[in-house]
Amino acid sequence: MTERLPTALGLAQRIEQHLTFSLGKAPATASTRDWRLALSRAVRDAVVVPWLAAEQRTQETGHKRVYYLSMEFLVGRLLQNAVANLGLEEAARAALAGLGADYETVVLDEPDAALGNGGLGRLAICFLDSLASLAIPAYGYGIRYAHGLFRQRFRGGWQVEEPETWLNEGYAWEFERPDASLPIGFGGRIAGRVGDRAAWAPDETVLAAAFDTPVPGWRGRWANTLRLWSARPLRAFDLAAFNRGDFVGAAAPEVLAETISRVLYPDDSTPQGRELRLKQEYFFTAASIRDILRRHLAEHGDLASLPDKVAIQLNDTHPAIAGPELVRLLVDEHRLAFHEAWQTARGCLSYTNHTLLPEALERWPAELLGRVLPRHLEIVERIDAKHRAALAAAGRRAAEELRIVAPSGDLGGEVRMGDLAFVMARRVNGVSALHTALMRRTVFRELEAAHPGRIVNQTNGVTPRRWLHGCNPPLRRLLTEAIGEAWVDDLERLEELVPLVEDAGFRAAFAAAKQANKERLAGYLSARCGVTVDPGALFDVQIKRIHEYKRQLLNILETAALANALRRDPGADWTPRVKIFGGKAAPGYADAKLIIKLINDVAASINGDPALRGRLQVVFPENYNVSMAEVMIPAADLSEQVSTAGMEASGTGNMKLMLNGALTVGTLDGANVEIGERVGPENIYVFGLDAEGAARHLPFHDGAAAIAATPPLAEVVAQIESGFFSPDDPRRYDRLVEKLRRDDRYLVTADFAAYFETQRRIDRDFRTADAWTRRAALNTAKGGWFSSDRTIRGYAREMWQVEPALQTGS
C-alpha cells in the first residue's frame, strides 16, 4: 500500500487543489489555517487508500474485529501524527515550502481535540494507534462532544473554566456517515411481553449520527476507524409550531437532543449531572452495539458466530450498559432465549477497571436507571438473580457482596456498574501489576473467588509514534542513527542502546538532545507565559490532572521547604531547579482548585524573591493538554510520580517521561513498580510508604504528629497559616491545613520527610552530569516494554483472541 502514497510533488498538487476547490482560496491570500486545512485534506486523501483497503480485506477474509468503547478519546493534534505515520514528513515539508508556507507553523496551528479528561482518554487513543500499527481490524467508538474538555485560565492564580471550541473552524479529518444513523430511545414503558421477550416503547428518541475519522497505523500499512456519535433530533424541528410563530418552541426538539452530545463531563472520578450523564453513556453504547450487530449480520449472517468474530472492550464502566443492551437486542429483537443471549454477550465482552477509589466506582440509583432505561433495569435484575442462583447451585454462598443491584439508602437500591461489567465479561483486566493484584484482593475479591481466572493484568503502555518519534525529534534522530529505525515498530529494540550507554560519545549526544529539548521548552514558556527559565537548571516536571491522590500538594510543600533552606544558606552550592507544573482540576473539585491556587501563590513568592533567583523557580502554564505534554516531556530531567501508594491504577505519564530520558521520583504505585523493575533501583528514586504501609495508616491518618516531627514541613505549614503566601487572605488555606492535621488521607505528612530527603539526593546526583545522563539514557533503553503495542498484543492474545490481519514488523 505504501507505494501509492504521494511524493512531494504529488502532495503539493493535492494541497493546491484542496486550497482552491475545498477551501475556495488562492495561494496569495491563504492564511496558516487555510494551509493547514489544505494539507490536512491532502493527507486525509492519502489515508483513505490504506483505510478502504483495510476495510475491504477485513470483509473479504471475515476477520475478527475489535471494538473499543470509550466515553473519552483524548486525541490532541492529528496532522503531524498522520503525516509521520504515512511517512510523508519530508514530502509535506518540501511541498509546503514550495508553496511558500512553513510546515512547522502549519502543524502547530491545529487545535487539540480534547474529548477526554486525562489518562483514560489518552490511553484509548494510544490503543487505536497500536491497533492500526499492528493491523488488527478495529473500531473506536465514542461521543463527538461539541465541547471537549474546558480551557483552563488562571485569574489571580485561581482556575477558571472556559468552553473549548474545537469544532469551530471545521474538523478536517472526519467523514459524516448519514447512512449509518441510528435511533436511540429513552424512558417510556414495557408495552407488551411474549415469554422472555418484551416490547420497549421509549417516550423520547434521538438520532445517533456517525462521524468517522480514519486512524492510520505506522507506515500506513493499515488504517482503522474512530466512529464518534453526535446526537440529533429525529425531526429537525416542529413545523406546525414554527408556522404558529412559536420559533423557540419549534426548535425545542433540536435543543433537547443535542444536549446529549454537547459537553464532556469535566470530571473523571465522580459522575455528575446524573441523568444526562447516564443518557450519554447509553446513547453512545447503544448506537455502537447496534452498529456492531448490523455489521456482523451483514458480514456473517448469523448470531452464533458473534463471539468468534467480535471482541468488545469496555474502557471502564461508562459503557457497562453494553451487556444488558446486547442481551436486550438478542432477546427482544433477535429472539434468542435469555440464557443463550447472556452467554453470547459474555463471549464478546471484556472490561477494563481503572480505579479502586470507592468514590470513583460508578453506581446508578435503580430508580433512575428504571426511569431512563426500564427494560434494561429488568434485564440487570434478571442477570443478578440468575448469577447468584448459579453460584448457589455450585455451592458458593451468595454473598451480599455479589449483588449487582444492591440495597442502599435510595428507594430500590443502586446498580453497581463494576460488578455488572464483571459478571457480563469474559475477561476483566487491571492496568498495572500492582493494580490488578489489589483489584483481586479488594473491590473484586468475592467475584474473583467465584470466577477464578477471569481477572488478568494488562499493564498500560503509550504509543512510541507520538510519545517518542513524534514529540522528540532530536532524540529520535540519535536513536535511529545508533540502532536503526526498527525501534518505532518494536520498541523493545531500545535495549540495543544498553551497551552504547557506556560510550562517552553517545552520552554526549544524548545530553545534547536533552539540552535541545530544554531550550525548546524554554522558548515555549517564554512565548506562552513570558517567563525566562535557565535551560541549564534541573527541569522537574509534574504534569497530570490535579487530584489530591496525585499529591501535587506534596510537591509544592517540598518546593516551599526548599525555598526556606535556600534562603537560610545562600552561600551553599545549590543545584538550580525549575519546578514545572501542568494540569486541570475538575470544576466542582474545590480542594483541587485550592491546591492550584496554592501552587500559584507559592510560585509568586519564590519567583519574586531575589535571593532565590537562578536557584529555584516555579512555572505553571495554564491549560495543560496533549500538545503541551509533547513539549514538556522531552525536556524533563525529573518525572514526578508521587501518588499515595495504592491509589494510582497505572499512570501513563510516568512511561512517556521515562522513554524520553527523565528519571522518576516516585512511590511504589501503579506502573512505577514495573518501571523500577525494568530500569533497576539505582536508576529511579523510590521513596515513601508502599501500598501495604499506606493501607496500615488508612482510612484515617492524624497528620499533626508527623508535621511536628518534620521541621521543614512544620515551617511551611506555619507559613501557610500565617498568610506568608496569601497576605491578601491569610485564612485562604485553613481548610487544606486542617485536613493535613486531622484527616490526611493522602498521607502527605507521612511521606514528606522521605520525599524531601530524596529530593536532596537528586540535587547532588544531578550535579554529576555525565553519570546522570548515563542513567537517563538507561531509562530510555529500558522503557521499550511500555509501548502500547506490547499492551495491545497482550489484550489480543489473552482477552480478544484476535490475530493481526497482515504480517507486520520490519
Binding site for ligand PLP (CB under 6 A): 118-119, 122, 544, 625-626, 629, 651-653, 656
Take residue 240 and report the three cell numbers written for it: 406546525
Take residue 712 and report the three cell numbers written for it: 521543614
Give the C-alpha distances (Å, rounded to integers) separating 486 from 188, 470, 502: 57, 15, 22
For residues 103 and 42, the answer to whether their CB atoms sit within 8 Å is no
Name which of 118 and 365 has its Cβ closer to ligand PLP.
Answer: 118
Name which of 312 and 471 has its Cβ closer to ligand PLP.
Answer: 471
CB atoms within 10 A of CB 131: 27
β-pair type (158-162, 151-155): antiparallel
β-pair type (113-115, 73-76): antiparallel
Picking from 319, 316, 324, 318, the residue whose alpha carbon sits closest to that of residue 405 is 324
Which contacts of 522-530 are long-range, i.e. CB under 8 A and separated by 24 or more positions?
Answer: 524/631, 525/619, 525/621, 528/621, 529/619, 529/621, 529/622
Separation CA 547–CA 620 (nearest Å): 15
Q: Return the amino acid letter for 86.
A: L
- Half-sphere CA count of 254, side-chain side, radius 13 A: 9
Take residue 506 and report the three cell numbers written for it: 553517545
Separation CA 432–CA 411 (nearest Å): 37
Smallest separation, CB 89 to ligand PLP (Å)? 22
Take residue 303 and report the three cell numbers written for it: 448470531
Name which of 119 and 217 has its Cβ closer to ligand PLP.
Answer: 119
Name which of 118 and 634 has its Cβ closer to ligand PLP.
Answer: 118
Smallest separation, CB 625 to ligand PLP (Å)? 5
Separation CA 105–CA 598 (nearest Å): 35
For residues 74 and 140, the answer to whether their CB atoms sit within 8 Å is no
Element (H, E) at 194: strand 189-194
Name which of 124 and 405 has its Cβ closer to ligand PLP.
Answer: 124
Q: Distance from first CA to last CA of the chain, Å, rounded?
A: 15
Take residue 716 and report the three cell numbers written for it: 511551611
Name which of 122 and 296 has its Cβ closer to ligand PLP.
Answer: 122
Q: For residue 397, give the 3-state DSSP assignment.
A: coil
Smallest separation, CB 117 to ligand PLP (Å)? 8
Name which of 91 and 629 has its Cβ closer to ligand PLP.
Answer: 629
* Rg of the chain in Å (alpha carbons): 27
Smallest separation, CB 670 to ligand PLP (Å)? 8
Name which of 130 and 288 has its Cβ closer to ligand PLP.
Answer: 130
Residues labelled catalytic: 354, 544-545, 550, 652, 656
Q: Return the amino acid letter for 493.
A: R
Name which of 517 and 726 has its Cβ closer to ligand PLP.
Answer: 517
**In this chain, which residue has its C-beta nearest to ligand PLP?**
653
Picking from 613, 412, 632, the residue whose alpha carbon sits closest to that of residue 544 is 632
Smallest separation, CB 141 to ligand PLP (Å)? 21
Separation CA 690–CA 699 (nearest Å): 15
